[in-house]
Structure 1
Amino acid sequence: MSFAIEPITSGLGAFVHVRAEDVLAPGVSEKVLEALNRYNVLVFPQIHMSDETFAAFTAAMGDQHDLSVTADSSAASDKGIYRIALDKDDTTQLDYVKGNDYWHMDGTVYDTPGKATLLKCESPPAAGGDTEFANLFAAWDAMPQERRRELEGKRVVHCLAAVGRLMYAQPSDADYARWDSIFPPTEHPLVWHQKDGRTSLLIGSTADTMVGMDRDAGRAFLDDLLDWATSAPFTYRHRWQKGDLVIFNNPGLLHRSHPYTEAAGRVMHRTTLKGREIIA
């Protein structure tokens, strides 16, 4: 069995070279998790993994989130895999997909966000649809000490309605009720100190308001942080090819998909590992 890691940039990402038939071999999942914690984004170029292997590989790496919110009637969903595409006819499902176009961290509705997200490219987009990642650990480490002290102790409210307002010019009362039923306003610390000694930030599209600030000042504060964390030194942009697999270290990253249309034909399969790091 061959297993090799090739860094992509000095600060974020690595290519993992291994055959699909070898990912379930003893020790591979442990190597992948170790590399994930080091490089934060792992790209398996054109590995062409079947859904069955994908599901088994996810299970080998840890406990998987169920599809209670994103389940649909697709064949992938029956295997515990979330099918990401714009050809859905359910409004809430489409909101989930379209909301991915904005920088976000998965699972800010929870006290323990998912550990890792696994994305497998079934059909690459004809145009648009790249996925971009921003390293929050690196953004924090590069921040001046005075700025870090300013952020400590501050709290932020996250909710799905914050994303909805980015997608809809005039949301209806029914839209707000639908969003709040899935992800109501949830307060978190802005600065997330993690058990391994690294520090992340709880920002992105779900971050709605800053506790103790008026709305406009809070929005300006959050937008300034987002601009810093998603600037070029901290980012990697992946252009999808059929068969690619990407795994990313969710508690330390923001990510987004670049806009695309249904006609682009982009179809991704996703699984998510349950989190291990409580927000505190």
Structure 2
Amino acid sequence: MATAVSSRWEVTDVAPKIGSAIHTDKATLLSGERASEIRELMERRGVIVFPEINLTDDEQIAFTHTLGTFAHEDGEAAGGKDAVYPITMDSSINPIAEYLKGAFFWHLDGTMSDKPILASIMSARALAPVGGETDFCNTYAAWDELPEDEKAQIEGLQVDHAMWRSQLYVNPEPSYALLQQWQSRGKNTLPLVWKHRSGRKSLVLGATALSVLGKDPTESESLLVRLRDWATQERFSYRHTWKLGDMVIWDNTGTMHRALPYDHKSGRLMMRTKLEGEEAFA
């Protein structure tokens, strides 16, 4: 695997087509002097791991600001101030923990928005004894390696996305009242193939993908599942096994991710910040 080394800065690829690890120190990260390199590497490799960097909440917030605009999403801003957001199944810490169960299925964040977040930054504060790894896949690479005839067939397709579709993975038999609550969030029509301003293209898939416009339900579901299987195969993927203090940042516009199962009473706790989106789906 390729490695480049300079003072307090070592970059190593962790999988062939996705993921790099950067071994550095807090001072270097918080200075912002490497911010442009981090952003370039994130766009190119999709996922960056900072092993056992052990940033505090305030340091993670400061680091996030070096990379772009700090994202405040629903329920994630504390009194209008920048804050880390707890990712946990403990409802006493996160009141919407039940909703977070959708994260156990392949997805990208922000499919209900025209401009999704650019990136997530997550740090490990407490781990489950078993499970709880995070899977990532590179949706740029998945597009690039599709056969050319298949690219031609799918490039112009549009897909309806809906939050309620992802919640059915968790609760396949909701009450009618709960389904109505989910469906009140509406739906969003997105391209199946995202043509980025950089000129690169990526697949837009995941658990919120409801139906392909112009196709009957059977054909639509078959296409979405087949492409998900393609994009998430091992050669496009990286599984991160967390250690305490690890911080991982991923390009939300060119990857999908999911958490692997673990005991929800284990106390597993991740702290997340985000970067505001800079590019609309196109």
TM-score calculated relative to the size of structure 1:
0.93
SS of the equivalent of 1:24 reads helix
1:25-68 CA distances to partner (integer Å, 9 max, x unpaired)? 14122221122122111000000001001001101111122132
How is 1:47-126 mapped onto 2 (pairs within 5 angstroms)? 47-70=53-76, 79-88=82-91, 93-126=96-129
Following superposition, the deviation at residue 90 of structure 1 comes to: 9.4
Aligned to 1:14: 20
Instruction: Tell me the residue number matched to 1:40.
Output: 46
Quote the residue 2:3 is aligned against: none
**Residue by residue, what CA displacement relative to the aligned partner does 1:181-238 show, whole Å, maximum 9, x if unpaired?**
4x42111111101111211111110101111122222111100110110011100000
Partner of 2:4: none
What pairs up with 1:176-215 in 2 under 5 angstroms? 176-181=179-184, 183-215=185-217
Q: Verify: 1:23 aligned to 2:33, yes or no.
A: no
Larger helix share, 1 or 2: 1
- 1:113–1:275 contact (8 Å) kept in structure 2: yes
Closer, same or farther: CA 72–205 of 1 in aligned 2, 3 Å: farther
Q: Secondary structure at the match of 1:146?
A: helix
- Structure 2: stretches of 5+ with no match in the other structure: 1-6
Partner of 1:273: 275
Report the count of equivalent residues: 276
Are residues 185 and 92 of structure 1, via their aligned partners in 2, closer, same or farther at CA, if it must alter by over 3 Å? farther
Does the CA contact (< 8 Å) of 2:124 and 2:271 recur in 1? Answer: yes
- The SS at the match of 2:172 is coil
In 1, Cα distance between equivalents of 2:180 and 2:55: 39
Tell me how far 1:170 sits from its aligned partner. 0.8
User: Over aligned residue pairs, what C-alpha RMSD do you find?
Assistant: 1.9
1:147 correspondence with 2:150: yes
What letter matches 1:126 in structure 2?
P
Aligned counterpart, 2:162: 159
**Does the 8 Å CA contact 1:126/1:265 hold for their aligned counterparts?**
no
1:67–1:82 contact (8 Å) kept in structure 2:
no
**1:3 alignment partner in structure 2:** 9
Inter-CA distance 219–260: structure 2 relative to 1 (3 Å threshold)? same
CA distance in 2, matches of 1:59, 1:25: 11
Instruction: Please say if residues 120 and 273 of structure 2, whose CA atoms lie closer than 8 Å, have aligned partners that are also in contact.
Output: yes
Conserved? CA contact 2:122–2:249, under 8 Å: yes
Question: Which runs of no fewer than 5 residues in structure 1 stay unpaired?
Answer: none
Q: 1:196 to 1:144 in 2, by over 3 A?
A: same
Q: Secondary structure at the match of 2:65?
A: helix
